[in-house]
Structure 1
Amino acid sequence: MDAIEAKDRRDGLAAALVSYVTWGFFPLYLLLVWDVHALEVVAHRVVWAATVMLVIVAVTRQRTELLRVLADRSSRNLLALASLLIGVVWFFYAYGALTSRAVDVALGYFICPLVTVLLAVTVNRERLRPAQWVSAGVGAVAVVVVTVGYGRFPWISVVVAIAFGLYSLVKNRVGRGVSPSVGLTVESMLLVPFAAVVIVTMSLTGTATFAVGGLDATDLFLVLSGPVTMFPLLLFAAAANRLPLSLLGNLQYLNPALQLVSAVLVLREDMPLARWVGFALVWGSLLVLVIDGARARARARRLEPVG
């Protein structure tokens, strides 16, 4: 690995970690819009996220690249698929958090790295080191333990896991030909028509919350959900085309671990013993991954030519 590749790997790792930490605590932000329907929350996230991204593209003078990506059929189709998948994730994330099922969403993110690693092996033909297999295996055991603790099929968890796992794969396939900011701009723009339909329909049926009787704090938090949404997604997009998909998948365990902390300590959701055991196993899998990564970097440094 040369110096440029090593720097890319470090930058991608830092971006992924900050992204997952932000996502891990995002359920607490949704407390600020607790009385708003999940569909309306997601619709405003889309509209204001698209607005933020268009401003970023204008300020950074990426208009030419945006038009080029929109004109390129392959990139446009991949980003359209990514847009659909992230829209599904956003809805069920908000639905779970706003209906006292944040732990269900956290379980989905526990399962997600397993989906991502499976895609890395079956689709991208990546080869895992033995310790990475051990980490994935411990994570799989954790998922089984937590699922048994539910006593019912966790459908929200499964939908979130599959949708975000596929989103990771698509973003990995988009590659460096599309900058993170332009890619996310296209994704959010493609969702705006659906968001507009939701907002107009809810306004006409009297079920909307935004700007009813004047603007208030809840409306402000709905607007701010756009930039709060885009910040970790920009970082994730930057990480997705710098890191192997298998490493990206294993790092995703940090997100649900922090979501569980938020759900239990702040949202006061139920946490039986089985879930605590699963939580501990996830941290065990992360420990295996961190130790293996440190050893791999040490081996790479020893093999680097001197002088």
Structure 2
Amino acid sequence: MALSETSKGVAYGLSAYIMWGCFPLYFALFDGVPAWEVVIHRVLWSCVFLAVIVTFLKRWQPVKAALARPSKLGYVLGCAVLIAVNWGVYIYAVESRQVLQASLGYFLTPLVNVGLGMLVLKESITRLQIVAVVLATIAILYQLFLLGVVPWITLVLAFSFGTYGLLRKQVALDGLSGLFVETLLLLPVGMLALATLSYAGVSHFGSSTATTLLLLSSGIVTAVPLLAFAGAARRLRLSTVGFLMYINPTIQFLIALLVFSEPLSPEKLTSFVMIWIALAMYSWSAWAGRSRSVA
């Protein structure tokens, strides 16, 4: 029975991270629609679809409990703003064919989590993890000085998602309920923005059947991987879920090279290799530490 549940967990985890990894192929279809407008619809239709799922799964109790304490919603609102920023920058990266920078951002995220945990939560980390964070920092500085540009997409994606995770630790909501409340808080802004676009006559919603269906589908595309991830998280150890996480940016990296034909300069490749080495150090340290604690 345990093996069966573990197998289901791995299947759910693989499904979630493969879907997230293939997001560049999906968002590339929104040709001509500004990233911020896609985010507006992603918020709106995610909220609608998640409401249906929460109703179907009978999970309204934690949502009602969270909304009944508005004074406690500060962290949730912070999460909502950060995830909206993350979505917007990611979609912009896809539309502007900078998926390599986006994938590097998600490779960097676990190391940002370690750094934030150390600086903000005063968590103790091993020397090897410190070396990993320092190496990742050197990789970003390497890009800055050798390429002469700030890899802002990488940094915004890594720090917005890393900070999102930091705030999310303070919220007593599961993944599904949490995302629903986050999109619910953004819903008034989204509706106002959509009304403004429609009034100005520049909304892409309704401009063509294909674009309208794509915008409507953004809610489902957002929620389905999350539900699969929740299924994995309930059945697998955190270390296994963390290992599977690298599938997402790896697929994005391959899509950037093989599908979008993005150039990979020696400087960029060196930066990626440094991040990969740092991730290997971090993963080894985490695995070794968990093995000692189990022993």
Question: In which range does the TM-score fall when normalised by the shorter chain?
Answer: 0.7 to 0.9
| Shift, 1:238, TM fit | 8.3
* Distance 1:133-1:255 versus aligned 2 partners, 3 A rule: farther
* Distance 1:15-1:299 versus aligned 2 partners, 3 A rule: farther
2:56 is the alignment partner of 1:59: yes
| Shift, 1:256, TM fit | 3.8
* Distance 1:197-1:102 versus aligned 2 partners, 3 A rule: farther
Q: Check the 8 A contact 2:101/2:151 in 1, yes or no.
A: yes
Residues 85-129 of structure 1: per-residue CA shift (max 9 Å, x gap): 111111111112112233333343344334322210122221112
* Distance 1:252-1:166 versus aligned 2 partners, 3 A rule: farther
* Distance 1:138-1:23 versus aligned 2 partners, 3 A rule: farther
Output the amino acid matched with 2:126: R
Query: Match for residue 167 of structure 1?
Result: 164
Q: Check the 8 A contact 2:176/2:226 in 1, yes or no.
A: no
Q: 1:285 aligns with which of 269, 278, 290?
A: 278
Alpha-carbon distance in structure 2 between the residues aligned to 1:170 and 1:14? 28
TM-score (norm 2): 0.82
Q: 1:186 aligns with which of 163, 181, 201?
A: 181
Q: 258-267 or 79-88: which moved more?
A: 258-267
Residues 152-171 of structure 1: per-residue CA shift (max 9 Å, x gap): 12333333333222111011
Matches within 5 A, 1:190-209: 190-209=185-204
SS of 1:173 mapped into structure 2:
coil
Q: 35-44 or 97-106: which moved more?
A: 97-106
Query: Match for residue 269 of structure 2?
Result: 276
Output the amino acid matched with 1:200: A
* Distance 1:186-1:12 versus aligned 2 partners, 3 A rule: farther
SS of 1:268 mapped into structure 2:
coil
Q: Check the 8 A contact 1:112/1:252 in 2, yes or no.
A: no
* Distance 1:125-1:227 versus aligned 2 partners, 3 A rule: same
Q: 70-79 or 46-55: which moved more?
A: 70-79
2:78 is the alignment partner of 1:85: no
SS of 1:83 mapped into structure 2:
helix
Identity across matched positions, percent:
34
Q: Check the 8 A contact 1:19/1:236 in 2, yes or no.
A: no
Identify unmatched segments of 5+ residues in structure 1: 1-9
| Shift, 1:142, TM fit | 2.8
Identify unmatched segments of 5+ residues in structure 2: 1-6
Residues 44-100 of structure 1: per-residue CA shift (max 9 Å, x gap): 111111011111111111223211110123542211111111111111111121122
Residues 194-248 of structure 1: per-residue CA shift (max 9 Å, x gap): 22222222222232222225xx2332222221122223445379869x998x999
* Distance 1:12-1:78 versus aligned 2 partners, 3 A rule: farther
Query: Match for residue 224 of structure 1?
Result: 217
* Distance 1:84-1:195 versus aligned 2 partners, 3 A rule: same
Aligned residues: 289
Matches within 5 A, 1:85-234: 85-174=82-171, 177-213=172-208, 216-233=209-226
* Distance 1:265-1:297 versus aligned 2 partners, 3 A rule: same
